[in-house]
Structure 1
Amino acid sequence: MTDEPRLLIPALGGLYNRLAPVTEPLMRLCAGLSMAAHGYVILFGAREANIAFFEQAGFHPAAFWTVVTGATQFFGGLCLAAGLLTRLAAVPVLVFLLVAIKFHAGNGFFWNYLGFEYPLFWAIVVFHFLVRGGGRWSIDRAIGREV
């Protein structure tokens, strides 16, 4: 007896088995690059608009929190994407996302109403890498060291 479910289309089993090893590294790469892109925009793209947002949202001093948030997303995202110090990088990114969840909670769940759905989704993805580490095809694995 196996824990694996029986496939409705057994012929796909080989394809699934061949693709399985790339799913986690692909998820790490996409999550990290997405996070880094958001951080880049905060730091270098629309910095003044982000400072104004943080000011209006009550995060004082707004310029400081803009840099902290942008740097957390940018550098944390790059580390996640590369699988470099993956667990360590996941901690500040997860803290940032938990603050975002709290910030958006007053708007309900759904992201189309600026609720907490989107930051919750990303928090779960980042939590996965906090627990599992960089995994296959990460710099952490290549150097044989993980936090």
Structure 2
Amino acid sequence: MLGITKKDFSIRAESFNLTHAWNILRIICGAFMFPHAASKFAAGALNPGTVGFFAKAGFAPPEFWVILAAMVEVGTGIALVLGICTRFAALGAAGALAVAVYALHMVKGFGWTWNTGGYEYPVFWGIVCLAVALNEFKQGAAAK
């Protein structure tokens, strides 16, 4: 089932059954989006370092893109944690992480390991979010 249905917007008890590994993975994917959003702010305002990073990556105006990124991260995080529109939330989170990889590459060039400013971390979580989305699409198709 590819379209959005009323059921997609329901918070269901089975979405929190932690004996199902996919629920654990979905919830963790959502929870990991919140620190990304929080890092874009400092002392109640946009983090100047993050705004500068977005500017160096070519996002103009950078303040707009920082706010948009934070909104996407919070929105997809909430949806994944609650199991709402999971297929599309997981794709949105993977997309946000793909943009993060692009930005890292534009600013720092090729780099893999996270401790040197590389993009191994967002690539990993992007792939995990894609796996969650694919599983949800598979589950929707099986329910038909």
Q: How many residues align?
A: 119
Which 10-residue stretch deviates more, 52-61 or 62-71? 52-61
Aligned to 2:34: 36
- TM-superposed CA distance for 1:103, in Å, is 2.8
Higher helix share: 1
Sequence identity (%): 30
Matched, 1:112 2:111: no
Counterparts in 2 of 1:13-92, with a 5 A limit? 21-42=19-40, 47-49=46-48, 50-92=50-92
Runs of 4+ displaced beyond 4 Å: 43-46
Which 10-residue stretch deviates more, 44-53 or 64-73? 44-53
- TM-superposed CA distance for 1:23, in Å, is 2.5
TM-score by length of 1: 0.68
Going from structure 1 to structure 2, the CA distance change for 1:43 and 1:131 (only over 3 Å counts) comes to: farther
Higher relative contact order (CA 8 A, sep 6+): 2
CA RMSD of aligned residues (A): 2.8
Unaligned ranges ≥5, structure 2: 1-17
Unaligned ranges ≥5, structure 1: 1-19
- TM-superposed CA distance for 1:125, in Å, is 1.0
Partner Cα distance (1:103, 1:65) in 2: 11
Return the index of the structure with the highest Cα Rg.
1
